[in-house]
Chain A
Amino acid sequence: MTKSEKIESIKKGKPFRLTDIFFLAGLAAAVLALCWWVYWSPPAYPVQGVEVRQNGKLVERPYAFPKPDEEPLEIPLQGLTLVIESGACYVKKGSSTCPDHACERMGKITRPNQKIVCIPNGIVIRLVGESNFISIG
């Protein structure tokens, strides 16, 4: 085939063969599946844990609760010591450095969305978990 015959043949030929179409379809399906997984799939419930923020910034990725037979965790933060036991957390009595110790008196929190707030130290401790249950008072 001469060069010009080759060019003519390509011009007249189909842009894609059947195998190309199957390949593209498969690739498109894979990309769509990836998009669905990243953007459109319903999010799984986040793992229940304890989130700590200080002055608006996340101090640490949510701490997981220890198992019932494990020792409670004591986590020293800037201004107080957080105790995390299985299914609950609280501020260790006597550990807060602020004058009124209000955070120590907030007691144990056990449900998703409950929080302990230490205003003088700018600390917010929150139990992370998807729930429509809001505690007030």
Chain B
Amino acid sequence: MKRLLAVIISCVLLFFAGSFAGCGSAYEREYYKDGDIVLGLFYFEVWLLGKNSPAVYKQMCAELEVINADIILTAPSPLKYLNDEAGAGEPVEVSRHTYELVKLSEAYYHKTGGAFNIAVQKLSELWNVDATRAGYFMFPVAPDVIKLPDVETVNAAKSIYEKFADTSTPFGVEASQEGAKYYLKKLDKDIKLDFGAVAKGYAVEVCMDIAKKSGIRSALVSFAGHNKFYGRYYDAATQSEEDWTVGVNHSRSHGERANPFFWEPETLFATSVPGEMSAIVSGDYQRYYLYPYVRQGEAGEPVLDENGKKEYDFLPVCHIINPFTGMPVGVSFDGKRYVYDDAAVVSAAIFDSSAVAAEGYATAACVKSFEEAKTLLADKGIKGAVVTAQKIAFIGIAESDLLTEYPENATYKRYGEPNIEFVAF
């Protein structure tokens, strides 16, 4: 009886010892992967390797809510109040996150020579590409529903922030701190800000800081397509570490931008990414609409097809506003109507240790011409790729860095030899 009792107790103790050992290793040998639509608008995904990964994910989601509450423009928020109601000189209390966003934006404004500018919200509204207008993206729109702004209106909206160019407050907004409180104050009542070009990268950095402080040893944080990696990728099957592999989708997969008929993304190029690195793509190929212009003959008469119906030319209007022209990237005015430049930059993929820097430079590269974008990235030592419909330039990335093991990872080769450049720093 004593022996039987000793055997039973030993078995129970051994089993619990094993159980506790197993609990301690949860998510230390296999990623905790979770993701969901957050803030009603964005897909947020994490891969976390480390103890307490589920709790870390929840903490990240909570912090995203805090950041968003201040800067959302589709619901009441301090930023919406600042934009729509605050007068010049009226201080509006904001969170530390919003204050940081303004300061970071000012830094990247100066680093990109003004190509990165968060004061273009008024223009986004005029061009119908602001956050409230996603419903018709990728479709041709009816010209009696969506009206393009005339050039005078565009120039007037541009002049609101242009007068603050190259000052210490380039957006016409003063950010200040008094003790533990933060304030924004407009210097012109018509100034409107939009943090869409910087907030996602900032949110990714905040989430990654949470992960690092919690002892996570390898992570992927992806928020609305903005990605950051930390530590090396841990392959659970082989129990070894390796670099992450990032494939950048082609902005013109199968020769087309994303369209309502069908789109099968192709990988433009793939490369290894060591931790700690962000990888972000900005481009004109998902959030855009097509504005129809009636095709006109030499005398200005509408051109008709064989069935007697009017023919149309479609102007692509994307969400990235060029702060220098006040128009969507690639769009200019030829004296009669808006036209699109086929040589415009269509996307820029940036790899940088800072997600905010990656986002700032990706936006700036899309605003600039192909040559200017290459020069900007090369001068600043920023790794990435700048893409037009005809050319691609890799900056700080050598051909040997590209993974071409699978042909489908290397559709950049379709550009053909003279149109593929490798620019060293």
Q: Taking the complex as formed, is A31 at the interface, i.e. its CB lies under 8 A from any CB of chain B?
A: yes
Identity of the chain B residue whose Cβ is nearest the Cβ of A23 in the assembled complex: B7
Identity of the chain A residue whose Cβ is nearest the Cβ of B222 in the assembled complex: A134
- A124 touching B244, Cβ below 8 Å: no
Identity of the chain A residue whose Cβ is nearest the Cβ of B244 in the assembled complex: A132
Q: Do A24 and B227 form a contact, CB below 8 Å, given A105-B263, A124-B35?
A: no
- B347 contact set on A, CB distance < 8 A: 137
- A137 touching B225, Cβ below 8 Å: yes
Q: Do A32 and B14 form a contact, CB below 8 Å, given A42-B236, A135-B247, A137-B283?
A: yes
Q: Taking the complex as formed, is A100 at the interface, i.e. its CB lies under 8 A from any CB of chain B?
A: yes
A-B contact count (CB 8 A): 147
- B3 contact set on A, CB distance < 8 A: 15-16, 20
Identity of the chain A residue whose Cβ is nearest the Cβ of B45 in the assembled complex: A115
Scoring B residues 339 to 379 as 1 if CB is less than 8 Å from chain A, else 0, what string do you get?
00000000101000000000000000000000000000000
Binding site for A on B (CB under 8 A): 2-3, 6-7, 10-11, 14-15, 17-19, 21-22, 25, 29-30, 35-37, 40-43, 45, 134-138, 220, 222, 225, 227, 233, 235-239, 242-251, 253, 258-265, 267-268, 270, 279-281, 283, 347, 349
Q: Taking the complex as formed, is A85 at the interface, i.e. its CB lies under 8 A from any CB of chain B?
A: no
- B247 touching A42, Cβ below 8 Å: no
Q: Taking the complex as formed, is A136 at the interface, i.e. its CB lies under 8 A from any CB of chain B?
A: yes
Assembled-state Cα–Cα distance A126/B29 (Å):
22
- B283 contact set on A, CB distance < 8 A: 137
Assembled-state Cα–Cα distance A20/B138 (Å):
76
Query: Given contacts A115-B45, A119-B40, A122-B37, could you give 12 more A-B pairs where the C-beta distance is less than 8 Å?
Result: A24-B10, A27-B11, A31-B11, A31-B18, A34-B18, A35-B15, A35-B18, A39-B21, A42-B238, A102-B134, A135-B249, A137-B225
Tell me the A90-122 residues at the B interface (CB within 8 Å): 93, 99-102, 104-109, 111, 115, 117, 119, 122
Tally A residues with Cβ within 8 Å of B.
45
- A136 touching B248, Cβ below 8 Å: yes
Assembled-state Cα–Cα distance A44/B261 (Å):
39
Q: Do A137 and B281 form a contact, CB below 8 Å, given A31-B15, A102-B137, A105-B259?
A: yes
- B41 contact set on A, CB distance < 8 A: 119
Assembled-state Cα–Cα distance A101/B349 (Å):
26
- A130 touching B235, Cβ below 8 Å: yes
- A102 contact set on B, CB distance < 8 A: 134, 137-138
- A107 touching B242, Cβ below 8 Å: no
Which listed residue (B11, B36, B247, B264) contacts A136, Cβ 8 A? B247
- B237 contact set on A, CB distance < 8 A: 42-45, 130
- A119 contact set on B, CB distance < 8 A: 37, 40-43
- B30 touching A43, Cβ below 8 Å: yes
- B249 contact set on A, CB distance < 8 A: 135-137
- B233 touching A107, Cβ below 8 Å: no
Assembled-state Cα–Cα distance A108/B239 (Å):
31
- B246 touching A28, Cβ below 8 Å: no
The minimal Cβ–Cβ distance linking B225 to chain A, given in whole angstroms, is 6
Judged by DSSP, the binding face of B is: mixed
Q: Taking the complex as formed, is A56 at the interface, i.e. its CB lies under 8 A from any CB of chain B?
A: yes
Which listed residue (B236, B238, B265) contacts A135, Cβ 8 A? B265
- A137 touching B251, Cβ below 8 Å: yes
- A100 touching B262, Cβ below 8 Å: no
- B258 contact set on A, CB distance < 8 A: 105-107
Assembled-state Cα–Cα distance A101/B262 (Å):
11
The minimal Cβ–Cβ distance linking A117 to chain B, given in whole angstroms, is 5
Q: Do A136 and B265 form a contact, CB below 8 Å, given A31-B18, A42-B239, A102-B137?
A: no
- A1 contact set on B, CB distance < 8 A: none
- A132 touching B18, Cβ below 8 Å: no
- B22 touching A39, Cβ below 8 Å: yes
Identity of the chain B residue whose Cβ is nearest the Cβ of A128 in the assembled complex: B33
A-B residue pairs, 9 tightest by C-beta: A39-B22, A35-B18, A137-B281, A137-B249, A107-B263, A132-B233, A31-B14, A107-B264, A133-B245
Q: Do A130 and B236 form a contact, CB below 8 Å, given A100-B137, A136-B225, A136-B247?
A: yes
- A105 touching B138, Cβ below 8 Å: yes
Of A28, A38, A44, A105, most buried by chain B (CB within 10 Å of CB) is: A105
Q: Do A99 and B135 form a contact, CB below 8 Å, given A31-B11, A130-B235?
A: yes
Which listed residue (A105, A109, A134) contacts B247, Cβ 8 A? A134
Assembled-state Cα–Cα distance A43/B239 (Å):
10
- B281 touching A134, Cβ below 8 Å: no
